[in-house]
Amino acid sequence: MKYDVVVIGAGGAGYHGAFRLAKAKYNVLMADPKGELGGNCLYSGCVPSKTVREVIQTAWRLTNIANVKIPLDFSTVQDRKDYVQELRFKQHKRNMSQYETLTFYKGYVKIKDPTHVIVKTDEGKEIEAETRYMIIASGAETAKLRLPGVEYCLTSDDIFGYKTSFRKLPQDMVIIGAGYIGLEIASIFRLMGVQTHIIEMLDRALITLEDQDIVNTLLSILKLNIKFNSPVTEVKKIKDDEYEVIYSTKDGSKKSIFTNSVVLAAGRRPVIPEGAREIGLSISKTGIVVDETMKTNIPNVFATGDANGLAPYYHAAVRMSIAAANNIMANGMPVDYVDVKSIPVTIYTIPSLSYVGILPSKARKMGIEIVEAEYNMEEDVSAQIYGQKEGVLKLIFERGSMRLIGAWMIGVHSQYLINELGLAVAYGLNAKQLASFAEQHPSTNEIISYTARKVI
């Protein structure tokens, strides 16, 4: 068969572009081993984890503001999660059925050459297809450490995967890794009464966020139990539901923690499809190398989402997928560029941390002088209403133009506010413009104009 575009992977990086191309009547072949749309995000990532987080947070919040005890059962929480996932799987199928020129296979794709692929379907069939363009949207997977006893560790897939068997809460939990996954899991399960311990090999958390003071502010609010500089060397099973986690300390000695459950939260790494290296694609440690139009070194091959590693977030993947589609429709002429810098990021701890744009450490490196404005969440009426008052908002303006170049926030609803801020960053709005806007009262967003008014 001949296609206009082959899309490898049906997560956010894949199906959004595929739908756009199919809407414009391009012949598209899309394949994914899951046989479902939505990728890991929906299968075991952001959607299920945020569903769990939301149920637990809602109960915890209600206890705080209405003084009622809530008998929340974890398996009910997981049922809710499965329900939301199922709802979306069905919705995706319904959406997909609208596109007549889109063919979808459950299966792996092997790249034969830049214009030919082989789809290896679930039923063992091999289907060869010719194509003018290719979008590699093969996603990422949990990085497996070469750790003795790794087989005893849960991953986020085990905890949040669709129809997972993990439906009973352990009493305590040792989490290996203080990256965003580790912090989120600790932050969520703690509210259910689970004792959590994080063990991190490096001397700091959230290594992907350069601004140490932001990380420190978050940690001082979260008050999690974290051991730094402590590489785990082995996980031993003592008996059912009892494990020993052995780690090195700074002075070289070994220490242990005994626990009911061990979670490996050691990050994720891109999935590179079979054949990608053989056809000469340029691939770095973080993924397939692309430019801002999502084009790889092979002119008709694009790579989007976690596979290129530029911004491993679902919403970034969606944007990249659309951009690849747009550039393909212009026959590879660059017409749509992804502005990675303006894509917001949220760490869904409780409270959450969100940031966007150029943060102070980056500004310093670039030689950009900044003016900062700050708001203490304690004073925000919405935070008071929700009973979640800890946090801070910081706006970062370029001195002179007073353009908003970055922002970060810790606190309730940071994942909503960051969008208004991100839009302002993306399109160059300045302090005067933010200060002159009147956000809805009461809504957490209103602190944005309040904060801008402090410097203008």
Site for a second copy in 187-206 (CB under 8 A): none
Q: Is 156 left (phi over 0), alpha (psi -120 to 50) or beta?
A: alpha
Residue whose CB is less far from a second copy, 121 or 419? 419
Burial class (CB in 10 A: 0-12, 13-18, 19+), 254: exposed
- Contact residue for a second copy among 122, 128, 339, 374 (CB under 8 A): 339
Question: Nearest distance from residue 190's CB to a second copy, in Å?
Answer: 18
- Is 32 annotated in a binding site? The answer is yes
- Contact residue for a second copy among 192, 332, 361, 372 (CB under 8 A): 332
Residues 59-98, one symbol each (x = binds a second copy by CB under 8 A, - = not), give x-xx--xxxx-xxx---xx--x---x--xx--x-------
Nearest to 262 by CA among 155, 147, 143: 155
Instruction: Map the footprint of a second copy across residues 361-400, applying CB under 8 A.
Output: 365-368, 379, 381, 384-386, 399-400
- Contact residue for a second copy among 32, 200, 306, 420 (CB under 8 A): 420
Nearest to 137 by CA among 333, 20, 6, 49: 6
Residue 100 touches a second copy, criterion: CB under 8 A = no
Count the Cβ atoms, other than its own, within 10 Å of residue 190. Answer: 19
Cis amide linkage into residue 351, ω under 30° from 0: yes
Question: Nearest distance from residue 50's CB to a second copy, in Å?
Answer: 5
* N-terminal to C-terminal alpha carbon distance within the chain: 62
- Is 316 annotated in a binding site? The answer is no
CB 110 within 8 A of CB 120: yes
DSSP state of 154: B
- Is 306 annotated in a binding site? The answer is yes
Question: Nearest distance from residue 417's CB to a second copy, in Å?
Answer: 8
Question: Nearest distance from residue 272's CB to a second copy, in Å?
Answer: 24
Residue 41 touches a second copy, criterion: CB under 8 A = yes
Q: How far apart are CA 391 and CA 48, in angstroms?
A: 25
Piece of the chain touching a second copy by CB under 8 A; list 58-66, 194-202, 245-253, 257-265 = 58-66
- Contact residue for a second copy among 108, 152, 228, 416 (CB under 8 A): 416
Q: Is 30 left (phi over 0), alpha (psi -120 to 50) or beta?
A: beta
Vertex 325, ends 322 and 328: CA angle to 5°? 150
Residue whose CB is less far from a second copy, 22 or 215? 22
Count the Cβ atoms, other than its own, within 10 Å of residue 135. Answer: 30
Residue whose CB is less far from a second copy, 146 or 441? 441
Question: Nearest distance from residue 405's CB to a second copy, in Å?
Answer: 10
Cis amide linkage into residue 442, ω under 30° from 0: yes
Piece of the chain touching a second copy by CB under 8 A; list 29-37, 184-192, 280-288, 342-350 = 342-350
Residue whose CB is less far from a second copy, 76 or 216? 76
Dihedral over Cα of 54, 145, 199, 411: its sign: negative
- Contact residue for a second copy among 346, 349, 388, 451 (CB under 8 A): 346
CB 321 within 8 A of CB 17: yes
Q: Is 22 helix (H, G, I), strand (E, B) or coil?
A: helix
Q: Is 68 helix (H, G, I), strand (E, B) or coil?
A: coil
Q: How far apart are CA 317 and CA 24, in angstroms?
A: 20
- The tokens describing 305, both together, are 């989402």
The DSSP result for 207-225, as a single string, is TT---HHHHHHHHHHH---
- Is 376 annotated in a binding site? The answer is no
Question: Nearest distance from residue 70's CB to a second copy, in Å?
Answer: 6
Q: How far apart are CA 382 and CA 400, in angstroms?
A: 32
Question: Nearest distance from residue 267's CB to a second copy, in Å?
Answer: 19
Residue 336 touches a second copy, criterion: CB under 8 A = yes
Instruction: Please name the amino acid found at residue 270.
Output: P
Q: How many residues bind a second copy (CB under 8 A)?
A: 108
Residue 451 touches a second copy, criterion: CB under 8 A = no
- Contact residue for a second copy among 139, 344, 391, 406 (CB under 8 A): 344
Residue 440 touches a second copy, criterion: CB under 8 A = yes
Instruction: Map the footprint of a second copy across residues 140-179, applying CB under 8 A.
Output: none
Instruction: Map the footprint of a second copy across residues 277-296, applying CB under 8 A.
Output: 291-292
Known binding-site residues for ADP equal 13, 32, 34, 40-41, 109, 140, 306
